[in-house]
Amino acid sequence: MTYNSSSYTTGMDRTARSEEVCLKFPPRVTSPGLTALLVQKDKLGKLMDYSGPRLHFQMVAIFVLTQIIHSLLKLLGLPLFISQLLAGILMSPVIFSDEHSLVTISEDSVAVLGSVGALGFMFFMFLSGVKMDLRLTWKSGKLAIAIGLFPVLVSLIFWLMTVKTLHPGGNVFSNKIFHLAVTYSGTSFPVIHSLLSELKILNSELGRLGLSAALIGDMVTLVLTMFSVWVNTGIQKGSKDVLFDVGMAMLYVCILVFVLRPGMQWMVKRTPEAGQIKDTCFYIIILAFMISPRFTALFRVYFFYGPFIFGLAVPDGPPLGSALVEKLDPVVSGLLMPIFATTCGMRFDLSYFKYSTKYAYHQAVGAVVTLIIKFGVSLLLPLLCKMPTRDSFALAFIMISKGIVEMGSYSIMNDSRIISEDIFAHLTIVIIIVASVVPIAVKKLYDPSKKYLCFQKRTVMNSRFNQELRMIGCVHVPGNVNSIINLLNASCPTRECPIALDVLHLVKLSGQATPLFIAHHNQQKASSNKSYSDNVVVAFKQFERDNLGAVSVNFFTAVSPWNLMYEDTCNLAMDRLTSFIILPFHRRWYSDGSIESEDQTLRSLNFDILERAPCSVGILVEGRRNIKGSNSKDTLSPSNSSSYAIAVIFLGGEDDREALALAKRFSQDESVSLTVIHLKAVDSLEFFLAEDERMLDKEMLKDIKASVPLTYVEEHVKDGPETSTFLRSIVKDYQLIIVGRRCRTEDAITLGLEEWCEFREIGIIGDLLSSSDFFGNFSLLIVQQQRKRNG
**Residue 96: per-residue pLDDT:** 57
Q: How far apart are alpha carbons 635 and 489 in whole angstroms?
A: 11
Q: Identify which has the larger pLDDT, 637 or 118.
A: 118
Q: Where are the beta strands (DSSP E) in 489-549?
A: 499-508, 516-519
Q: How far apart are alpha carbons 740 and 676 in whole angstroms?
A: 13
pLDDT of residue 69 exceeding 90 = yes
The residues, ordered by sequence, that sit 6+ positions from 383 with a Cβ below 8 Å of its Cβ are: 389, 392
Alpha helices in 446-583 (DSSP H): 478-490, 534-546, 565-575
**Residue 22: per-residue pLDDT:** 62
Q: How far apart are alpha carbons 540 and 367 in whole angstroms?
A: 56
Closest by CA to 564, choosing from 621, 507, 481, 615, is: 507
Beta-ladder partners of 686: none
Most confident of 48-52, 131-135, 428-432: 428-432
What distances in angstroms separate CA 664 from CA 7, 122, 644, 675, 678, one per listed residue? Answer: 86, 61, 14, 11, 15
| pLDDT interval class at 12 (50, 70, 90) | very low
Q: Average pLDDT over the chain, rounded to whole?
A: 81
The one-letter amino acid at 365: V
Closest by CA to 602, choosing from 565, 553, 642, is: 565
pLDDT of residue 527 exceeding 50 = no
pLDDT of residue 440 exceeding 90 = yes
User: What are the b/e assignments for 122-141, b being 16+ CB within 10 Å?
Assistant: bbbbbbbbbbbbeebbeebe
Q: Identify which has the larger pLDDT, 669 or 677.
A: 677
User: What's the whole-number mean pLDDT along residues 347-358?
Assistant: 79
**Residue 473: per-residue pLDDT:** 94
pLDDT of residue 627 exceeding 80 = no
What distances in angstroms separate CA 206 from CA 143, 200, 382, 609, one per listed residue? Answer: 12, 11, 11, 20
**Residue 729: per-residue pLDDT:** 87
**Residue 791: per-residue pLDDT:** 47
pLDDT tens for 137-196 read: 777 788 899 999 999 999 998 888 887 777 666 666 665 677 788 888 899 999 999 999
User: What's the whole-number mean pLDDT along residues 490-507?
Assistant: 87
Q: How far apart are alpha carbons 284 and 137 in whole angstroms?
A: 29
3-class state of residue 500 by DSSP? strand
Rg (CA), the chain: 32
Q: Identify which has the larger pLDDT, 299 or 558.
A: 558
**Residue 454: per-residue pLDDT:** 60
User: What's the whole-number mean pLDDT along residues 85-95?
Assistant: 79
**Residue 528: per-residue pLDDT:** 45
**Residue 110: per-residue pLDDT:** 65
**Residue 505: per-residue pLDDT:** 93
User: What's the whole-number mean pLDDT along residues 77-102?
Assistant: 75
User: What are the b/e assignments for 448-466, b being 16+ CB within 10 Å?
Assistant: beeebebeeebbbbebeee
**Residue 134: per-residue pLDDT:** 80
Residue 327, Cβ density class (10 Å: 0-12 exposed, 13-18 middle, ≥19 buried): middle
* Strand bridging mode 711-717 / 672-681: parallel
Of 184-188, 481-485, 508-512, the range with the lowest mean pLDDT is 508-512
Which CATH code for domain 80-446?
1.20.1530.20
Q: Identify which has the larger pLDDT, 6 or 230.
A: 230
User: What's the whole-number mean pLDDT along residues 366-378?
Assistant: 92
The residues, ordered by sequence, that sit 6+ positions from 144 with a Cβ below 8 Å of its Cβ are: 209, 212, 213, 216
Q: How far apart are alpha carbons 14 and 584 in whole angstroms?
A: 69
CA distance from start to end of the chain: 71
User: What's the whole-number mean pLDDT along residues 612-634?
Assistant: 70
What distances in angstroms separate CA 503 from CA 209, 228, 231, 481, one per listed residue? Answer: 25, 50, 54, 9
DSSP string, 217-244: HHHHHHHHHHHHHHHHHHHHH-HHHHHH
Q: What are phi and psi of 99, to 5 degrees?
A: -60, -30
Of 209-218, 360-369, 494-503, 524-533, the range with the lowest mean pLDDT is 524-533
pLDDT of residue 397 exceeding 90 = yes
| Fold (CATH) for 643-684+691-790 | Rossmann fold (3.40.50)
pLDDT of residue 48 exceeding 70 = no
| pLDDT interval class at 784 (50, 70, 90) | very high
The residues, ordered by sequence, that sit 6+ positions from 48 with a Cβ below 8 Å of its Cβ are: 54, 57, 100, 101, 102, 104
pLDDT of residue 14 exceeding 50 = no
**Residue 21: per-residue pLDDT:** 57
**Residue 755: per-residue pLDDT:** 82
DSSP string, 615-672: SEEEEEEPPPBSSTT--PPPTTSGGG-SSEEEEEEE-SSHHHHHHHHHHHHHTTSTTE
Closest by CA to 374, choosing from 187, 198, 201, is: 187
Beta-ladder partners of 711: 675
Most confident of 36-45, 73-82, 661-670: 73-82
SS3 content of the chain, % helix, strand, coil (to 5): 60, 10, 30
Which CATH code for domain 456-521+531-615?
3.40.50.620
**Residue 526: per-residue pLDDT:** 37
What distances in angstroms separate CA 215 from CA 159, 373, 408, 513, one per listed residue? Answer: 22, 20, 19, 10
| pLDDT interval class at 468 (50, 70, 90) | confident
| pLDDT interval class at 639 (50, 70, 90) | very low
- Give start-end residues of each CATH 3.40.50.620 domain in the chain: 456-521+531-615, 643-684+691-790
pLDDT of residue 51 exceeding 50 = yes
**Residue 438: per-residue pLDDT:** 95
| pLDDT interval class at 47 (50, 70, 90) | low
CA atoms in the 13 A half-sphere facing the CB of 621: 30
User: What are the b/e assignments for 217-255, b being 16+ CB within 10 Å?
Assistant: bbbbbbebbbebbbbbbbeeeeeeebeebbeebeebeee
3-class state of residue 558 by DSSP? strand
Percent of the chain with pLDDT over 90: 27
**Residue 667: per-residue pLDDT:** 83
pLDDT of residue 5 exceeding 90 = no
Most confident of 221-235, 391-405, 512-526: 391-405
**Residue 356: per-residue pLDDT:** 73
Q: pTM score, two decimals?
A: 0.84
pLDDT of residue 750 exceeding 50 = yes
**Residue 136: per-residue pLDDT:** 77
User: What's the whole-number mean pLDDT along residues 780-791?
Assistant: 82
By residue count, the chain amounts to 791
**Residue 102: per-residue pLDDT:** 45
752: left (phi over 0), alpha (psi -120 to 50) or beta: left
Alpha helices in 30-188 (DSSP H): 34-39, 41-44, 51-73, 80-90, 107-131, 136-139, 142-166, 175-185
Beta-ladder partners of 650: 678
